[in-house]
Structures are given as structure tokens and as C-alpha cells.
């Protein structure tokens, strides 16, 4: 066997691929959750959608300084 590549069984290769697939699916699922949370914030009246309490007239101009 010297000089030859080690003999990998198909089962071991399949298990490695399966683990990689599981990790990839888990990562995609987490990203999907984050996107859904951001969409909910952006569509609602959350902190990302508003600029706080709006003032009118002179008060607003004084606050911008």
C-alpha cells in the first residue's frame, strides 16, 4: 500500500457530505430568521421605521442644531 492513496469507503464520504449539508442548512435557517425579524421591524412602526417623536414648528428647528 505504500505510495497509494488511503482507501476511503463510500460510507465515510457520504457521512462527511451529510455533516456539511446539515451545517449549511442550519446556517441558512438562521439567516432566514434574521431576515424575517428585520422585515418585521421595517414594515411595522418599530425603531427602524421612525425617527422618534416628531416636533413641529420652531421646536423642531431648535432640536436640529
CB atoms inside a 10 Å sphere around CB 20: 10
What whole-number distance in Å separates Cα of residue 62 and Cα of residue 55?
A: 10
All structural domains of the chain with their residue ranges: 10-63
Higher pLDDT pick, 41 / 3: 41
- Please tell me the predicted confidence (pLDDT) of residue 41: 79
| 6-47 per-position pLDDT tens digit | 666 666 666 777 888 888 999 999 999 999 988 887 776 555
Q: What is the mean pLDDT of residues 51-55?
A: 58
Contact 49, 42 (CB under 8 A): yes
Contact 55, 63 (CB under 8 A): yes
Binning pLDDT at 50, 70 and 90, where does residue 52 land?
A: low
Contact 41, 48 (CB under 8 A): yes
Higher pLDDT pick, 3 / 64: 3
Amino acid at each position: 500500500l505504500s505510495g497509494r492513496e488511503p482507501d476511503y469507503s463510500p460510507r465515510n464520504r457520504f457521512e462527511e457530505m451529510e455533516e456539511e449539508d446539515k451545517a449549511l442548512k442550519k446556517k441558512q435557517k438562521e439567516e432566514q430568521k434574521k431576515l424575517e425579524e428585520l422585515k418585521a421591524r421595517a414594515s411595522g412602526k418599530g425603531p427602524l421605521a421612525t425617527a422618534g417623536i416628531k416636533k413641529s414648528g420652531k421646536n423642531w428647528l431648535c432640536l436640529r442644531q
